[in-house]
Chain A
Amino acid sequence: AQSVTQLDSQVPVFEEAPVELRCNYSSSVSVYLFWYVQYPNQGLQLLLKYLSGSTLVKGINGFEAEFNKSQTSFHLRKPSVHISDTAEYFCAVCVYGGSTLGRLYFGRGTQLTVWP
């Protein structure tokens, strides 16, 4: 079975500070990994994804994430946040291959709030 744990439900930071949003997953098979962002009153938007290759993945808006297979983690980072980054962030995993078409398992989300 697959599960996704986002260790922090809320992360408050000041503008221009660095931030890390943590995500751990459990799976007995290879997975694809994703971070989605949800701004207020909107749907989810893909921030970045890891499918294969380099373990450091760069996404939109200056975010990046690093896949660590031994620690089964996929933490999201940004060196300097802006107020506009205030949103809810969701980590998700997809089982590699098989018949589970686009079957994503989501974490509960982390609310990032950036203060001036």
Chain B
Amino acid sequence: ETGVTQTPRHLVMGMTNKKSLKCEQHLGHNAMYWYKQSAKKPLELMFVYSLEERVENNSVPSRFSPECPNSSHLFLHLHTLQPEDSALYLCASSSGTVNTGELFFGEGSRLTVL
């Protein structure tokens, strides 16, 4: 496998459920990101991890909980979500040693909250 892989591709959950999104990168990068993509809105950066440490958290509600156990894996744990959290969640990675901003994206996890 190459690139950035996200699972599941589609997820439907109720507001009381607990689920997790998974991201795995095979590019040897050491920085990983979660973005939220909603219709008619710019991509929103949620979290940034560099060398497994969270370096940015853009005022994301606590019902979203990220986890980065190593430089290749990134999770987004979800609990008691709201319908407005329905969106495409994109994972990305970058080579942290060169800050050019070039990101490599996964195909996204389409989340629907009922």
A107 to B42, Cβ gap below 8 A?
Answer: yes
A-B contact count (CB 8 A): 73
A102-B33 contact in complex given A49-B100, A90-B43, A92-B101, C-beta closer than 8 Å = yes
Pick from A43, A90, A95, A101: contact of B31, CB under 8 Å: A101
Interface size class on chain A is 20 to 34
Is B59 positioned at the interface, with any CB of A under 8 Å from its CB?
no
Q: List 21 A-B contacts (CB under 8 A).
A: A4-B42, A43-B6, A43-B106, A44-B92, A44-B105, A46-B104, A49-B100, A90-B43, A94-B99, A94-B100, A100-B99, A101-B48, A101-B55, A101-B99, A102-B33, A102-B48, A102-B99, A103-B56, A106-B42, A107-B42, A108-B40
Q: Which residues of A contact B (CB under 8 A)?
A: 4, 32, 34, 36, 41-46, 49, 51, 90, 92-95, 97-98, 100-104, 106-109
Q: Which residues of B contact A (CB under 8 A)?
A: 4, 6, 31, 33, 40-43, 45, 48, 50, 55-56, 90, 92, 94, 96, 99-108, 110
